Structure 1
Amino acid sequence: MNFSNYRLQLLLRVVLLCVTIYFFARINFDPLYRGTTIALGLAILVQVWLLVLYQDRTNKQFMRFLNSIKYDDFSELFKVSKEGKQQEELATKLNEVMHKFRELRAEKEAHLQYFELIVQHIGIGIISYKPDGTIMLLNHAAKKLLKVGQLQQVQELENESPDLAQGLQLLEHNDKILVPLKHGAEQVNLAVHVMELSILGERIRLASLQNIQKELEEKEMEAWHNLIKVLTHEIMNSVTPIASLSASAYEELSSYTDTVAEEVTMLRDELEDVGQCLHTISRRSDGLIKFVSDFRNLTAVSVPKISRFSVNEMLMEMKTLMREQLAQKHVRIKVDVPQDRLLLSADRSMVEQVLINLIKNAIEAVHEQHEPRIILRAYLDERSRISIEVEDNGSGMTQEAQTKIFIPFYSTKKTGSGIGLSLSRQIMRLHKGSIAVQSELGKGTKFILRF
């Protein structure tokens, strides 16, 4: 007989146990009923044991439920028995709670995965680490900026940048520093901002790394442009009238000395000297105006007219174009390009202007070498960007010169104006590219254009 009511089963078990105890007590250990006494005693023990087991089913369900929560295992299912409405409701409610826990955990994992994807794909480098230097998170942007793989400790960054490794360990909450970082020919400046959080009583530091090199260069160039505009405006306003007035005075004085009467013949030499002075003033004023106009070109670069052309062909044409100047200086030039054509979308005339400037600088840099040579090289870098190099075997540059070489008015040449490389960098910036320099004293210099 299958009883489906939990309370009825419990009541029947208790009643049966009471009846058995009653008969056990009535026999009163009579020797004539020794067998019956033993049987009734065993029956009482068995019924008590079964009653305990029957009652323990609910306790075991609760223990399974609590263990599932303790060990974060929500795959447990509770069987809905047919022992009564109360037991069915208990099993159903426990299953509903387990299902809710599963939903919450799935939602939590989905949110965690979502935020991890955001952190990994964000353009700003993120490093999460403990105060002892143990790295908990290093996103793709940080790896790309630092050019490292997976790291375990902040101290491992000392190989790339000792300043950064030290700064991450010493910075306190909301501190900021600017860290210079150099990878080969590329110079970048990282803005590092550190915040400290407390998660479940554990201190965690969160550092953001942002490459602000382009912003710094743009602000620097903007400041130079503003300065050049003011200087050229004031100089032109002052020099132009002087040049015009001196030229006019020289012409009038020249005509006067040609037609002057005999009574002023003795003053002819003096007048000619004055005329020569005026002519010198006029000529130097014109030279100064031209000099200022050259600097104005730095602030008046036109918008690139983009077209698609072969880098291989352009470099070969550069070699032909500069052939006469190279031959005069006895400089040997080599063009190193891949077999497959590299197609570049840019303003060809502007790119050629940059290359001509770099080749001329290289010619001047190698003029004292026994076997002067220049190499033009084109290739795809590790990020599949078209790169062009102009390399020479000249005397090289100091580290200080490399940091200042792109600043307007700065030149390592005695007769240099200091605008060629500044103009080249501006042209590359208009193409969303960069220009960098690698140099070592006594071994030569290499300029790298990346598009």
Structure 2
Amino acid sequence: MNFNSYRVQLILRLLLLALSIYGLSWVGFNPDYRGTFVGLALFVVLQIGLLVHFHERTNRLFLRFLNSIKYDDFTEQFHISGEGKTLRGLSLQLNEVMEKFRHVRAEKEAHLQYFEVIVQHIGIGIMTFRPEGKILLLNNAAKKLLKVGQLREVQELAAVSPELALGLQQLENGEKVLVPVRQGTEQANLSVHVIELSLLGERIRLASLQNIQTELEEKEMEAWHNLIKVLTHEIMNSVTPIASLSSSAYEEVSSYTDTEAEEVTLLREELADIGQCLQTISRRSDGLIHFVNDFRNLTTIAVPQLSHFNVTELLQEIKVLLRGQLAAKNVKLQLEAPKESLILSADRAMIEQVLINLIKNAMEAVQEQPEGKVVVRAYHDERSRISIEVADNGHGMTTEAMAKIFIPFFTTKKSGSGIGLSLSRQIMRLHKGTISVQSELGKGTTFVLRF
């Protein structure tokens, strides 16, 4: 007989309890067997307690199982030996269930870690927060875009951009907004898209942040290029015949005024006046054609021919090149570059053209200053990009002028075509770089090239 069987043990315990009760009833309350009666009574109570304890073993097993689930402790193991086939089967099944829970939790944690890695490495800024403003998630792209560390509240973004902090909380589900953000010398336009989710009955707001400054500049330059092409085409079509006809007419009138024929003697003065007018029209038409051709340069920049060169050497050559102009205008040019080599991969001639243009603009900006000074710095920025600054101590610009400074034809100078900075920005874009400006009235202007 298998005495480890749950049923056998239960039957034996019940038989022993029945025999004990029978013996207790047989002894009765005979004074001669009082000690035996008390002993049998205690033995019966003990057996009842042991029987209840034995019977509740299954309940205790289930309680351990339920507590493990309640407190997410799936390390619990159920080992029952010597309790019979039924309890051993129950123990085995509970262990299998616990193993399943462990597998599900491990799979869930793996998926969670997988999605966290994706969210942290995605190029678009992602932020999740509660409607009251508590931030739940801020991925690396968002931190890099906003140049912030770990934030707890949306309101803390007011230090970066009040419009951004306000927009994140006021945007309705599915709405988008474009928020301008200036960080130092760099201008960014953030496309902010907010949607609402329900997570276990709790409202969660998810915002995506994307810098579309590059795309906006590309569209802006494309629009200007198309406009310039149309305008120059129409102007050239109209002016070229006028220049040609006026030139021909002037030659013809000149042939009459030069002759000594009697019939044109009286008209010589009138014809001379007409010839002078035609000559003026021809000269101004040629000037206008030359002017239009200059603007055509905005749409005909060649593809950069990349090469490796030393930035410090380039700056020193530019200083030598502009030495005469600097001395004539009594402007001091100061170069600040590291001793170690800054090797840049770019079109050397194009970058030289951009730097000369910026330095000349700076020279004009400080011309009225008693001690005009232009400082050119070359360095690695916080992202290890080669950066070149051209700073002056001139009068500076207004915020409105800074916003328009790169628009073709716009200029703050008394004389100028307004295409120099537009060309510079286009050249930098062809090099996958940026050009930005930071200025304040009375404190000068700084242009920054980042490669």
Query: TM-score under structure 1 normalisation?
Result: 0.97
Spell out the pairing of 1:374-389 with structure 2 (5 A cutoff): 374-389=374-389
1:188-245: CA deviation from partner (whole Å, max 9, x where unpaired): 1111111111111111111111111111111111111111110001001111111111
Show the counterpart of 2:145.
Answer: 145
2:39 and 2:364 map into 1 onto residues whose CA distance is 120
| Paired position in structure 2 for 1:226 | 226
**Unaligned runs of at least 5 residues, structure 2:** none
1:399 is aligned to 2:399 = yes
What residue number does 2:64 align with?
64
* 2:397 alignment partner AA: M
Residue in 2 aligned with 1:181?
Answer: 181
Q: Deviations over 1:29-51 (max 9, x none)?
A: 22232232222222211211111
* 1:226-375 matches, cutoff 5 A: 226-375=226-375
| 1:204-215 equivalent positions in 2, closer than 5 A | 204-215=204-215
- State how far apart, in whole Å, the 2-side matches of 1:412 and 1:75 are: 74
Alignment of 1:26-105 (within 5 A): 26-105=26-105
Match of 2:163 in 1: 163
Give CA-to-partner distance per residue, 1:124-178, whole Å, 9 cap, x none.
1111111111111111111111111111111111111111111112122112211
Over the matched positions of the two proteins, sequence identity in percent amounts to 69
Give SS of 1:266's match: coil
Distance 2:107 2:446 in 1: 54
Q: 3-state SS of the aligned residue for 1:238? A: helix
Cα distance in 2 for residues equivalent to 1:442 and 1:27 = 117
Q: Name 1:428's counterpart in structure 2.
A: 428
Contact 2:331 2:371 in 1 (8 A): yes
Rounded to whole Å, the distance in 1 between the matches of 2:36 and 2:438 is 108
Shift of 1:372: 1.2
- Rounded to whole Å, the distance in 2 between the matches of 1:35 and 1:368 is 124
Aligned length in residues: 451
SS at match of 1:188: strand
Question: What one-letter code is carried by the residue in structure 1 that aligns with 2:183?
Answer: H
Q: In the TM superposition, what whole-angstrom CA distance separates every residue of 1:403-442 from its partner, at most 9, and x where no partner exists?
A: 1000011111122111110110010011111101111112
Q: For the residues of structure 2 that align with 1:378 and 1:395, how far apart are their CA atoms?
A: 23
Runs of 4+ that moved beyond 4 A: none
Code of the residue aligned with 1:280 in structure 2: it is T
Task: State the 1:340 CA deviation.
Answer: 0.6
How far apart, CA to CA, are the structure 1 residues paired with 2:330 and 2:248?
A: 46
- Separation (CA, whole Å) in 2 of partners of 1:369 and 1:266: 59
Once the two structures are TM-superposed, the CA of residue 2 in structure 1 deviates from its matched residue by: 7.8
Which piece of structure 1 moves more, 250-259 or 427-436? 250-259
Query: Matched residues in 1 for 2:328 and 2:377: separation?
Result: 23
> Quick one: which amino acid aligns to residue 405 of structure 2?
I
Mapped partners of 2:293, 2:108: distance in 1: 65
Give me the whole-angstrom Cα distance separating, in 2, the residues matched to 1:231 and 1:437: 29
Partner SS, residue 408 of structure 2: coil
Please tell me the residue identity of whatever aligns with 2:101.
Answer: F
Q: What SS does structure 1 have at the residue aligned with 2:151?
A: coil
Q: Give 3-state SS (helix, strand or coil) of 1:203's partner.
A: strand
- Paired with 2:360 and 2:95, the residues of 1 have a C-alpha distance of 82
Deviations for 1:7-45, whole angstroms, at most 9, x for unmatched residues? 111111111111121222222222232232222222211
Matches of 2:173 and 2:198, distance apart in 1: 11
CA deviations 1:293-331 (Å, max 9, x no partner) are: 111100111111111100000000010111121122121
Question: Is the 2:2–2:8 contact (alpha carbons within 8 Å) kept by the matching residues of 1?
Answer: no
2:198 aligned residue = 198
Q: Which residue of 1 aligns with 2:3?
A: 3
CA distance in 2, matches of 1:301, 1:435: 17
Tell me if 1:410 matches 2:410: yes
Deviation at 1:260, TM superposition (A): 4.5
Amino acid at match of 1:365: A
The AA in structure 2 aligned to 1:157 is L
Q: In the aligned structure 1, how far is the partner of 2:381 from the partner of 2:94? A: 61
1:421 and 1:190 map into 2 onto residues whose CA distance is: 24
Distance in 2 separating the partners of 1:272 and 1:363: 45
Range with greater deviation from structure 2 (370-379 or 305-314) = 370-379
**Per-residue CA shift, 1:352-398, capped at 9, x if unaligned?**
11111111111211111111111111011111110111111111111
